[in-house]
Amino acid sequence: MRILIAEDDQVLADGLTRSLRASHYAVDQVADGAAADSALQTSEFDMLILDLGLPRLSGFEVLRRLRSRGSLLPVLILTAADNVEDKVRGLDLGADDYMAKPFELAELEARVRALTRRGMGGASSMIRHGPLSVDLSGRVVMLDDRVVDLSARELALLEVLLQRAGRLVSKDQLVDHLCVWGEEVSTNAIEVYIHRLRKKIEVGPVHIATVRGLGYCLEKIPGNPQQTA
């Protein structure tokens, strides 16, 4: 899961980045609206945390441009606590949620998890794929009745594939969703992670198919309930 933070308060941005990376998210940050708009057009992200009071280009304009391009990227806006108008305007422009400053990091992480679940098609923290279940809140993977020990990178890879179950995901897309700017991860490394993941989760109907030369697909299981309570 890759998140872009657009926040000009460097202390806050650094704190958010450290907290989210400790929870195994890949996080990039920018300090102005123009940089945010450029990043959103050139890189793949799974979520945007957007301060509305950005320099060079306001958060409102970043959001307006994002939605005008047809993007459904989940957006969590950050607003001043007493500015109801900004909250309303941000939501009307297409934001999915908001938080008023100051806020607790634990609450922000909970909202990030909620938006992640919503982006995966449901409101529950538990996703099932045949005998495989993934608790997004506790970051626990179960296969039938046993816990599967996955590395942070393997779990992140599984989440991307689950989000797109039944659809092809290229190696380059996987790199984009797993890695922050400046991090060197080759497509050969993706092959290694896929190999390790297969050895741990491929039981019964759970299968990651290779489309040679194109990428990978977590095959859909007929009648599988993706989300459970």
Average pLDDT over every residue of 170-196? 80
CA angle 50, 125, 204 (to 5 degrees): 125
d(CA 29, CA 83): 24
CB of 16 within 8 A of CB of 40? no
CB of 104 within 8 A of CB of 77? no
pLDDT in tens, 92-110: 999 999 998 888 888 998 8
Q: Residue 56 is which amino acid?
A: R
Average pLDDT, the chain: 86
Residue 49, classified by CB atoms within 10 Å of its CB into exposed (0-12), middle (13-18) or buried (19+), is buried
Average pLDDT over every residue of 30-37? 96
Name the CA dihedral angle for 156, 158, 159, 162, rounded to a multiple of 10 degrees: 170
pLDDT in tens, 48-106: 999 999 999 999 999 999 999 999 899 999 987 677 888 889 889 999 999 988 888 88
CB of 135 within 8 A of CB of 150? no
Per-residue pLDDT at 135: 82
Element (H, E) at 48: strand 47-51
β-bridge pairing 126-129 and 227-228 = antiparallel
Q: Residue 224 is which amino acid?
A: N
CATH assignment of 126-228? 1.10.10.10
Q: Where are the domains of the chain?
A: 2-119, 126-228
pLDDT in tens, 112-141: 888 876 655 555 567 888 888 888 767 888
Report which of 111, 30, 113 is spatially closest to residue 77, judged by C-alpha positions. Answer: 111
Is the pLDDT confidence value at 153 over 50? yes
Reported CATH class of domain 2-119: alpha beta
d(CA 200, CA 4): 30
Residue 24 banded pLDDT, cuts 50, 70, 90: confident
Q: Residue 114 is which amino acid?
A: A
Kindly state the tokens that stand for 191. 């092959």
User: Sheet of 132-135: strands edge to edge?
Assistant: 146-148, 140-143, 132-135, 126-129, 227-228
pTM, entire model? 0.67
Per-residue pLDDT at 57: 95
- Give the other-Cβ count within 10 Å of 181's Cβ: 12
The secondary structure of residue 3, as a DSSP letter, is: E
